[in-house]
Amino acid sequence: MPLPASPLPASPLSATICLYCGSSSGKDPAYREAAANLGRFLAREKIRLVYGGGRVGLMGAAADACMAAGGEVIGIIPDFLLRHEVGHTGVSDLQVVDTMHERKMRMAELADAFCVLPGGLGTLEELFEVLTWRQLGLHDKPIILLDVANYWEPLVQLLQRQAEEGFMRREHLALLHRASSLSALREALLLSLSAPTATRSKLA
């Protein structure tokens, strides 16, 4: 089932969300529908979207929907991907950088929170990097898995197994939120972004 696009009350949120997701759309149409619903949600809530700058897959679906709904979208893309014609020139601001490392750091610096939709190896790499940074105390920005069709259940089980086998502290499981709806995402953002911050500036 796709993430429901149920109407939400007016929000006091004013934030920037960094979105990690697939440059492919995946097999289940629910993934692309969820990405589009997220883009519209961010525009409605006046939350700025920062993402990897692509025009294809779930990345493109979220960006297109956010722009169409009047939102603000910033894309960060390395030059070699832009030259392969996957850069989204229709977003509010497409920033071209030299390397993948520079792209990821710039996205993280701009973000107040991280949201993760289904994706492949690149999405996992981005997720685990910011999750590790949070575990190390380099930032305290919320990290939220937006679960579509139970896609992230195997990952959650793996992390629980790591804690059970002593490869990570059990309290670190709480560093990763899991939301199955846009209303749950909104609640997690309100709760996390209203909390006092002490280390957020360390990525900036």
Domains and CATH numbers, the chain: 16-191 (3.40.50.450)
Is residue 125 pLDDT above 90, yes or no? Answer: yes
What b/e string do you get for 70-107 counting C-beta neighbours within 10 Å, with b at 16 or more?
Answer: ebbbbbbbbeebbeeebbbeebeebbebeebeebbebb
What's the pLDDT tens digit per position in 51-60? Answer: 999 999 999 9
Token pair in block for residue 5: 């696009």
According to the model, what pLDDT value does residue 181 have?
Answer: 95
According to the model, what pLDDT value does residue 8 have?
Answer: 38
According to the model, what pLDDT value does residue 176 have?
Answer: 95
According to the model, what pLDDT value does residue 13 have?
Answer: 54
pTM of the model: 0.88
186: left (phi over 0), alpha (psi -120 to 50) or beta: alpha
Is residue 3 pLDDT above 50, yes or no? Answer: no
* Range scoring the smallest mean pLDDT among 11-25, 43-57, 125-139, 176-190: 11-25
According to the model, what pLDDT value does residue 1 have?
Answer: 41
**6 — pLDDT class (breaks 50, 70, 90):** very low
Single-letter code of the amino acid located at 193: L
According to the model, what pLDDT value does residue 195 have?
Answer: 65
Q: Strand, helix or coil at 9?
A: coil
> For 132-154, what is the mean pLDDT?
96
Single-letter code of the amino acid located at 88: H
> For 37-56, what is the mean pLDDT?
96
* Strand 176-179 with 73-78, pairing: unpaired
What's the pLDDT tens digit per position in 150-197? Answer: 999 999 999 999 999 999 999 999 999 999 999 999 999 988 887 655
What's the pLDDT tens digit per position in 72-121? Answer: 999 999 999 887 768 999 999 999 999 999 999 999 999 999 999 999 99
Place of tokens 């490392």: 101
